[in-house]
Amino acid sequence: MDKKTFASKLENRVFDMDVHDTDVSNACYEAMYHGLASVQVFPVMIEECAKLLKGSEVKIAALIDYPHGGFPPEIKKMEILDAKKRGAEIFNVCFTNRNVKDRKWEQVGRELQILREAAGESELRIFLETEYLTDEEITKLCGYAIEAGVDTVITSTGLYYKLDKESRTEVPLLADARDIRLIKSVVGSRMKIMAQGFIDHWDLAGEVLEAGADMIGSAKAVRLLEEFH
């Protein structure tokens, strides 16, 4: 894989709300300059991105019900339709993982069908939040996602931390090559996999790609590209 190919596998992220317009525009300019695949932004940022990215090959991925996925699927549907009107081409949706933990599989399937209908022919992605799911739950959810026609699964929002008991400090939950391999064993070539979760250096990026990830979402996408070797 050469550097240009690696760039085409990266999605630049703006996942904080305490940012200025310049942060959003910089993410777009970086994506265009470096040949990144897309930018991942909140719906309120879509129209600004659409103006800046017009005529380029960089796509806009809208964050839907980010970060907790606690809204009913009907509300997520409305968010998707609104984001589509604003210019989004990809929809990164936070799934209701509580239904997975409670084994409410009928509700899992229903939500996925509603999301698929809302996205239409556009690319639909769902966040799995793998660090909170067992292997069995990940496997089961991926099966339902395949059945519903989801295009891509994302390992996590890349937002959460866990408490290290010894140091009494919070440690980021990183994307895990093991989880990528598990997901790949289930989805094969039927869905794409986006690795996301504090991927801020090349070594980790290389690990998840080797494990089977098709894409990487990172707020440090440009750094990853600079460190590529």
Report the chain's C-alpha Rg in angstroms: 17
**Cβ of 16: how many Cβ atoms within 10 Å?**
10
pLDDT digits (tens, 9 = 90+) for 34-86: 999 999 999 999 999 999 999 999 999 999 999 999 999 999 999 999 999 99
- Work out how many domains the chain is built from and give that number: 1
pLDDT digits (tens, 9 = 90+) for 154-213: 999 988 777 777 777 876 777 899 999 999 999 999 999 999 999 999 999 999 999 999
Supply the pLDDT for residue 18: 80
3-class secondary structure per residue, 124-154: EEEECCHHHCCHHHHHHHHHHHHHHCCCEEE
Q: Name 193's Cβ contacts closer than 8 Å, sequence gap at least 6.
A: 152, 153, 154, 155, 180, 183, 184, 187, 212, 213, 214, 215
Contact 215, 193 (CB under 8 A): yes
Task: Please tell me the pTM assigned to this model.
Answer: 0.94
CATH number of the domain to which 34 belongs: 3.20.20.70
Supply the pLDDT for residue 159: 83
| Structural domain that includes position 140 | 3-227
